[in-house]
Amino acid sequence: MSRFDQGRWNRILVWTGATLAWGTALVAARAEPAQVTSSVPPADGQVATDSLQAVMPTPPSQGLVILRFTPVAIPEPEVVTVSVTRAAASPAPAQPVAAAQPAPEPSSSGS
């Protein structure tokens, strides 16, 4: 008796085939160089230039591609001083404070 019935084997084969097809498509897309074509022909006397930049450089046939990052200096935050002055106002009369009442005594029903 097999652990995998026919339906499970079919699902395994379908997912394996889909994964292989997806991986093959990715490898093929990566291997083909990108072709950029302009739909507008250059006018007389103008030279067509590509303004597109590659996200990743073209990998060499042998060796490694080294990407370098040059960090940009972070500017120091500006200190902003704001002074606010108010005109002197007469103080409002103080409200009388009511005396706090003590908590009521607990009562028992005697049960």
The CA distance from 93 to 98, in Å, is: 15
- What is the chain's length? 111
Q: What sign has the CA pseudo-torsion 48, 53, 58, 63?
A: positive
Q: pLDDT tier at 39 (50, 70, 90 boundaries)?
A: low
- Indicate the domain borders of the chain: 1-32
- Say what the pLDDT of residue 81 is: 92
Helices (H), the chain: 6-31
73 pLDDT above the threshold of 80? yes
Share of the chain above pLDDT 90, in %: 19
- Say what the pLDDT of residue 23 is: 93
pTM for the predicted model, two decimal places: 0.29
- Say what the pLDDT of residue 51 is: 47
The CA distance from 22 to 15, in Å, is: 10
- Say what the pLDDT of residue 55 is: 65
